[in-house]
Amino acid sequence: MSRETTGTLAAAGAGLPAGVRDLVYVRRAGWWADESLRFDASGAEVWPRDLHPVQAVTVHHTALGVAADPHESVRAVYRLHAVENGWGDIGYHLLIDPAGTVYEGRHTGGPVPVFAAAPLPGRASAVTAGHVGGRNPGNIGVCLLGDFTGAMPTEAALSSLVSVLRTLCALAGVDPRAGVAYVNPVTGDRATVPGTAMHRDWGGTACPGAAFAARFDEVRGRV
């Protein structure tokens, strides 16, 4: 991949603690995102961006098979969210394929994913995405490509997930195993979840799959 289609997230922040390495990811241009899907017929952006301080990071699975070229799977999720759901963009901040490759999700309008500008550790604000009903502001969404109802993610995917969560938690000042009293800064809705949550921790879903959920504490421990 060329330098134009990849980037590093941790390099955008200063003062990161030891053990947080630069996180290489595929930019939207690298997975050939059709940016026209973000705009309506008049040229207006369907889903304007807003930012809120990060309170939690939430892990998902697509519950779908993965194409031989995972870029196709990322584009499929993008089209589902942006066009079929009518959102105007993909609802996850980052995605991870079975080989451990990390992909930029939600458009930020800035030089790095998740955040609209280079984040300061402990004071990071994320662009709002759409991955937990009614509880998206201040909640970063990371999605693994695949269905983990009956099987675990690959070790490559898990290793990348741990690196992603470690980096995001370091940047946002989130304790991965502590409880978080989440408050939606827009609606006031409240929930108590782990700092690194599974989608099911928010209620109403089996995501990220029964097999993965049964061992998710191992991921928190590695983070």
Domain assignment present for 108: yes
Token reading at 73: 């799977």
Query: Is position 210 within any domain?
Result: yes
37 within some domain: no
Instruction: Please give the pLDDT value at position 88.
Output: 98
Q: What is the CATH number of the domain that holds 110?
A: 3.40.80.10
- What local confidence, expressed as pLDDT, does residue 12 receive? 61
Give CA–CA dist 162/196, Å, rounded: 10
Which residues are CB-contacts of 42 (< 8 A; sequence separation ≥ 6)? none
Domain that residue 183 falls in: 3-32+49-222
3-state secondary structure the chain: CCHHHEEECHHHCCCCCCCCCCCEEECHHHHCCCHHHHECCCCCECCCCCEEECCEEEEEECCCCCCCCHHHHHHHHHHHHHHHCCCCCCCCCEEECCCCCEEECCCCCCCCCCCCCCCCCCCCEEECCCCCCCCCCCEEEEEECCCCCCCCCCHHHHHHHHHHHHHHHHHHCCCCCCEEEEECCCCCCEEEEECEEEHHHHCCCCCCCHHHHCCHHHHHHHC
pLDDT for the residue 1: 43
Total count of domains within the chain: 1
pLDDT of residue 129: 98
Q: What CA–CA distance (Å, rounded) separates 13 from 166? A: 13
Domain assignment of residue 38, yes or no: no
Q: Which residues contact 179 (CB under 8 A, 6 or more apart)?
A: 192, 193, 194, 195
pLDDT average per 10 residues of sequence, the chain (223 residues): 66 60 87 98 96 96 97 98 98 98 95 84 89 97 98 97 93 91 97 97 97 97 93
**Residue 110, pLDDT score:** 86
CA separation for the pair 37, 11 (Å, rounded): 29
Give the closest residue to 193 by CA, choosing from 137, 145, 148, 139: 139
pTM above 0.75, yes or no: yes
Answer yes or no: is 54 within a domain.
yes
Residue at 40 is within a domain: no
Does the residue 44 lie in any domain? no
